[in-house]
């Protein structure tokens, strides 16, 4: 029985491990992951229901200096999410330096007068002495509710963080059905999986300038799910890179995405990918909204 709930934003600079932490806390993949910054573009909701509590985690884009209209949208998502929750989880790297994104988030959290747990990620990459220095530095910057050293990749420190988060939960019935792990529609999850595979397989600027739209979704009587998806990129030269020589890259993206989509849907999947060009779409608010990146 769910007796108490808590809604927590997961915030930090790009590529600090917010999506990996969200997946680790939920015990399931609800957010795509890559080693490239700004992988997360929208707010992703992950849900953990574990008697007697339900925790809702809001994975956010990394706070960065926006270079286009899509970047402006992502920064707005971060700022809005910090204000809409019971507490914040500020995720930082084990580096004894408070950067501009971290200071901006600390200032915003102070302004909202909300509880905040500092999570120092990637502790498996540093020595204990370095970690103590980081903890001391952040302790001077803000009176955090708790400070948790953690590795989102290995799960070390996860239980300690959950115990601290449970203290911040309030008496309440469940906010989501207990079997739900995310509020994202299946179409959105599938589109994100396809984009994740491009982020993992393509270099430099190309994957940051792509968006994925599901054009067809047909569940056949024999149990097969037929999906047609369009990959939009910003330049004709990028289209050639995504397709690859004799279609090899597009085929590889489709093959790896289909494997994961089948696990998600628990069904056989026929996936067709097409590539189209929408010049400079990240600087056009209407195009951004068309791809589902719309501020609430």
Residue 96 CA neighbour count, 13 Å, CB half: 12
User: pLDDT tens across 129-158, in order?
Assistant: 899 999 999 999 999 999 999 999 999 999
In the chain, domain spans:
4-171, 186-290
pTM of the model: 0.78
Q: What are phi and psi of 250, to 5 degrees?
A: -65, -40
User: pLDDT tens across 27-58, in order?
Assistant: 988 876 766 555 555 668 889 999 999 999 98
Reply yes or no on domain 4-171 having CATH 3.40.50.300.
Answer: yes
Predicted confidence at residue 41, as pLDDT, reads: 54
**What is the rounded (10 degree) CA torsion for 66, 67, 71, 76?**
30
Reply yes or no on domain 186-290 having CATH 3.30.300.20.
Answer: yes
> How far apart are the C-alpha atoms of 107 and 118, rounded to whole Å?
14
SS3 128: helix
Q: What is the mean pLDDT of residues 116-123?
A: 96
Q: What are 54's two structure tokens?
A: 């339900």
Whether the CB-CB separation of 4 and 53 falls below 8 Å is answered with yes
> How far apart are the C-alpha atoms of 65 and 175, rounded to whole Å?
34
Q: What are 181's two structure tokens?
A: 């792990």
Whether the CB-CB separation of 94 and 120 falls below 8 Å is answered with yes
Q: What is the DSSP letter of 172?
A: -
Q: What is the DSSP letter of 182?
A: B
Specify the pairing of strand 170-171 against strand 146-149.
unpaired
3-state percent helix, strand, coil for the chain, nearest multiple of 5 = 40, 25, 35
């Amino acid at each position: 029985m769910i007796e108490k709930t808590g809604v927590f934003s997961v915030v930090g600079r790009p590529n600090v491990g917010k999506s990996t932490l969200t997946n680790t806390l939920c015990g399931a993949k609800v957010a795509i992951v890559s080693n490239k910054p700004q992988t997360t573009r929208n707010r992703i909701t992950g849900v953990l229901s574990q008697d007697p509590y339900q925790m809702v985690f809001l994975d956010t884009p990394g706070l960065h200096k926006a270079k286009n209209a899509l970047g402006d949208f992502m920064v707005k998502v971060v700022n809005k999410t910090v204000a809409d929750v019971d507490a914040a989880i500020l995720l930082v790297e084990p580096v004894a330096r408070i950067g501009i994104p971290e200071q901006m988030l600390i200032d915003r959290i102070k302004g909202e007068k909300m509880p905040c747990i500092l999570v120092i990620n990637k502790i498996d990459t540093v020595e204990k002495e370095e970690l103590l220095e980081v903890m001391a530095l952040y302790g001077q910057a803000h009176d955090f509710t708790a400070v948790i050293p953690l590795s989102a990749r290995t799960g070390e420190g996860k239980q300690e963080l959950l115990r601290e988060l449970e203290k911040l939960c309030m008496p309440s019935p469940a906010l989501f059905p207990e079997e739900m792990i995310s509020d994202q529609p299946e179409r959105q999850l599938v589109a994100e999986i396809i984009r994740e595979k491009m982020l993992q397989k393509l270099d430099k600027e190309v994957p940051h300038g792509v968006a994925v739209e599901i054009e067809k979704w047909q569940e056949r009587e024999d149990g097969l799910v037929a999906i047609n998806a369009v990959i939009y990129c910003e330049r004709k030269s990028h289209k050639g890179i995504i397709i690859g020589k004799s279609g090899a890259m597009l085929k590889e993206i489709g093959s790896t995405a289909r494997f994961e989509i089948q696990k998600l849907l628990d069904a056989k999947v026929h996936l067709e990918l097409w590539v189209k060009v929408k010049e400079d779409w990240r600087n056009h608010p209407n195009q951004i909204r068309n791809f589902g990146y719309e501020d609430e």
